[in-house]
Amino acid sequence: MSTGPRQPRSDDRAALVERLTNAGRRTSDAAVMFHTALSQHLGIGVSDWKILGLLDQHGPLSAGELSRHSGLAPASITGAVDRLVKRGYVKRLKAEGDARRVLVALDSQLLQGVETQFAAYFRRLTELLERYDDDQLALLAEFLDTNATLMSEATAEISQDH
């Protein structure tokens, strides 16, 4: 996880940490708004959209697995899957080797239409990434991966409180 020898802390560290914190908040806000716009474009809720993202990332999942990955309650997952099935975005499949187990699978044709919505953003992102060398990209990736893990842990803690 280490990226090399630690540099001495600068006198500007507090300002840098504040800048990074503010940039993270702006990124989070922008991501929420972007995904809200995409979900509205598809005529579904944001949580439903994120469930589609989990299915795209992990492949077919059971309702329990979706609950664990998302942090949403099983009843919320059931409602979301029902809505997504009704709209034709997902289908329920019997798991191979265990006919009692039901998996939720993404309709692959959905992704073809959504990819065009992402194209402009990904073009801009590709241009941004060209500014950084491989070591900087590795550092950014490690930071974002670790931050996502920390946020998932915090989400689980909040969910356990209810």
Q: What is the pLDDT along the chain (162 residues), one digit of tens a residue?
A: 555 567 777 789 999 999 999 999 999 999 999 989 888 888 889 989 889 989 989 999 999 999 888 878 888 899 999 999 998 899 999 888 887 889 999 987 766 667 777 888 889 999 999 999 999 999 999 999 999 889 878 877 887 666
CATH number for the segment(s) 14-131:
1.10.10.10
- pTM score > 0.85 for this model? no
State both tokens at 23.
């940039």
d(CA 143, CA 152): 14
Domain ranges of the chain: 14-131
